[in-house]
Amino acid sequence: MAMIFETHAHYDDEAFDSDREELLASLPAGGVGTVINVGASMATTRNSLALAEKYPFIYAAAGVHPDEVEELTESCMEELRGYCRQGKTVAVGEIGLDYHWHKEEEHRKLQQYWFRRQLALAREEGLPFIIHSREAAADTLTILKEERAGEIGGVMHCYSYSAKQVREYVGMGLYIGVGGVVTFKNARKLKEAVEAVPLENILLETDCPYMAPVPYRGKRNCSLYLPHVATAIAGLKGVSEETVRAATEENAKRLFGKTAGRQKTGGMCNRGGSEFC
Ligand code: NI
């Protein structure tokens, strides 16, 4: 069986405070080969880097989520740039737009500004991006096109838009992050989107501690549950679970291994035995 590549986790979340070390130590034996722990604020970016420092199979993404952009300043951006240059940082994220909780035009403008700035950071630092986009489909697509995001490369995390729009993202060469929702009975829209995406553009992700797949729906999620997601994707694609595991691992390495050519010290590609690149 191919090892699972988990592209979106938040193991620094307090939901894991009681058993974090034990759980993380159990992942390799549970078939999880690589984890990207994703920052959503300055603090959780630092937490992600600390986890990556501690565990050989964990990598970090550095970025500030649209809900948290009020904390951003020019000096934060310089700090993020420094984090991007650390050896185990493989992406800028999660960044994007979230209009669900923010109806005010002023906040939305602020989100758009920092989304563009962090996309520019990804471009400048030669890293792919991880996008969070909720109830902001049109503006997300507009910004990604205007910023020529296809040249940078990245993933639409926790994809929640239509099958029609998914073709636009795939057309730009972007990847689609699929998690526990695909196992839900009522997730017709996501299932249609997954059917429309070539397997070569799909990544496995949990967004843990959130979004646990059936039969753990509503409980704390973790990367050990990803085989349920792989099985659901396999059913929609008419291929085996093993095919999905192997393809999504390859896809993740192709996207996040782009950093391979960069001059970094202590990076994943300089470490002997890394499966990543
Ligand atoms: Ni997330």
Residue 203 near residue 6 (C-beta atoms within 8 A): no
How remote is the CA of residue 60 from the centroid of ligand 1, in Å? 12
User: What is the model's pTM?
Assistant: 0.93
How remote is the CA of residue 94 from the centroid of ligand 1, in Å? 7
How remote is the CA of residue 37 from the centroid of ligand 1, in Å? 9
At residue 37, the pLDDT reads: 98
Q: What is the pLDDT of residues 109-163, one digit of tens each?
A: 999 999 999 999 999 999 999 999 999 999 999 999 999 999 999 999 999 999 9
**Can you tell me the distance from the alpha carbon of 168 to that of 184, in angstroms, rounded to the nearest whole number?**
25
How remote is the CA of residue 171 from the centroid of ligand 1, in Å? 24
How remote is the CA of residue 262 from the centroid of ligand 1, in Å? 26
How remote is the CA of residue 39 from the centroid of ligand 1, in Å? 8
Cβ neighbors of 69 (< 8 A, separation 6 or more) are 110, 111, 113, 114
| 82: Cα within 13 Å, side-chain hemisphere | 8
Percent pLDDT > 90 in the chain is: 92
Please report, for residues 84, 110, 114, 227, the alpha-carbon distance to residue 70 in angstroms, rounded to integers and kept in the order given: 20, 8, 9, 37
List % helix, strand, coil for the chain (3-state, nearest 5).
Answer: 50, 15, 35
Residue 207 near residue 191 (C-beta atoms within 8 A): no
Q: Which residue positions in the chain have pLDDT lower than 50?
A: 260-275, 277
Residue 201 near residue 191 (C-beta atoms within 8 A): no
At residue 235, the pLDDT reads: 98
Determine if the peptide bond prior to 94 is cis (ω within 30°).
yes
How remote is the CA of residue 10 from the centroid of ligand 1, in Å? 7
Residue 108 near residue 135 (C-beta atoms within 8 A): no
How remote is the CA of residue 104 from the centroid of ligand 1, in Å? 23
At residue 259, the pLDDT reads: 54
At residue 55, the pLDDT reads: 97
